[in-house]
Structure 1
């Protein structure tokens, strides 16, 4: 991983995500951290008054832009003392919608990982996953690391990887996992999700798939477990807490235990329950 992108709306959660990005730089080969703020004013806001007969003037827009850039520069200074030596921190202000700004930056700057707070200034409350998270997670071509505001930035030494041991051969995103953890000394706790009690672990199919998974992860210090909780998310998060994991890794949603992670009800539960960052691989 060479480039992290951290969207900044100056909320506590966003600042916390930036702090984690700085700390993770010491565990990775990252060369650049981009702190980006998106500021969008529609042409109608500039030309027409709002219901309160207030019309935004160009001078006010310029002052707001300058203030935001100043805030990004201050954060850059704060983080410069916390990143690995040699890591470059850039500040960017995009005059566009947040999701479009993120997508464009990922494409133009070859971003490897987006790190963002689970809530922000647009969130209704601390237990709601910010709309920005849902939108970015859907649109991003890069993996997304969602950081709860209560998580205290710390090195990642243990991560829970939630999987389905019977869907390994054709679906496991080995390259994405290696880009994230290949240069880190991280213990992987690989959890099989069996909420419906489908598996007979003596069956050859299971044995073959598990052997294939172990071969894929042979470069890691990996351990393997089984979870049968009907409440899948609670089961995984409880397992992570019991094993002092600092991260939960969700495979691409079309075949992961969080296949409906972007569904609103599940997202709210995830945001409210998780006390550790959740990595959505792509």
Structure 2
């Protein structure tokens, strides 16, 4: 993964996600981090007054854009001191909705990964990241990492891979996972919800044997687990907490027991409840 796209709305949560991206650069082969700020001004705001009879002038829009660009560049200078030597940081200002800006820039700039905060500053009308998280995770064509503001940034050693052993019947959906694990010293903990109480220790690996999942991950020496929990999301997060994992990785929902992961209610529960970053693969 050579390029990270990091939406920045200047909220504490967004800057925390950027700090995570900087820390992650020391463990990965990223070469370029793009700080993206998106803001939208409807053309009607410049030709029609609002209910308070205030008309937004084009000069004010341009002044706002210039100030945002200055803030972006100032923050980029600060972040540059925290990334791995050789990693380039650039900024980009988009006068459009955040969702559209992220999707379009992920494509046009060949981003491999989008990293964003799970919450924004709701008191600030410009801080849209929190309310757009689920939509971005659903629409973005590349993997997305959502970083909770409570997460204490540290090196990633243990990763929880959430998937359904039986549904991963081919290696293709694992390609993006291998991009994450390849040449990293990560310890994968592969988990599945066990709907049969009392699964014997070691049974998870036996069931996984012979599957595409097992063969593909074998070089990384993963450990396999069943999670016996009535609530899938809480089960995964409780497991991650118990094993002191630094990130939860979910395979594309077609290959996961999280069939409705990208349905708004489930996604919101996962992203809002997690105390560790969640990586949604594509």
Q: Can you list the C-alpha shifts for 1:11-56, whole angstroms capped at 9, x where unaligned?
A: 1110000000001111111100000000111111111111111110
Change (3 A) 1:171 1:194: farther
Tell me the equivalent position of 1:193.
193
**2:250, 2:157 → 1: CA distance?**
17
User: Unaligned stretches of 5+ in structure 1?
Assistant: none
Q: CA deviation at 1:132?
A: 1.1
The 1:133/1:272 distance shift into structure 2, 3 A limit, reads closer
Q: Compute the displacement of 1:263 (Å).
A: 2.8
Aligned equivalent of 1:45: 45
Question: For residues 149-228 of structure 1, what are the structure 2 equivalents within 5 Å?
Answer: 149-170=149-170, 173-195=173-195, 207=207, 211-228=211-228
How many pairs does the alignment contain? 276
Q: Distance in 2 between matches of 1:225 and 1:252?
A: 19
Q: Secondary structure at the match of 1:165?
A: coil
Partner of 2:80: 80
Q: Secondary structure at the match of 1:27?
A: coil
**In structure 1, C-alpha distance between the alignment counterparts of 2:267 and 2:107, rounded to whole Å:** 26
Q: Give unpaired runs (5+ residues) of structure 2.
A: none
How far apart are the structure 2 equivalents of 1:4 and 1:208?
A: 32
Is 1:139 the counterpart of 2:126? The answer is no
8 A Cα contact 1:253 1:260, kept in partner? yes
**What RMSD, in angstroms, separates the aligned Cα atoms of the two structures?**
2.4
Q: TM-score by structure 2 length?
A: 0.90
After superposition, give the CA deviation of every residue in 1:256-281 in whole Å (9 maximum; x if it has no partner).
23322233332332233210000000
Give secondary structure in 2 for the equivalent of 1:218: helix
The residue number in structure 1 matching 2:60 is 60
- Give the distance between the partners of 2:200 and 2:102, measured in 1 at CA: 44
C-alpha distance in structure 1 between counterparts of 2:202 and 2:30, whole Å: 43
> 1:63-117: per-residue Cα shift (whole Å, max 9, x none)?
1111111111121111111100000000100111111111111111100000000
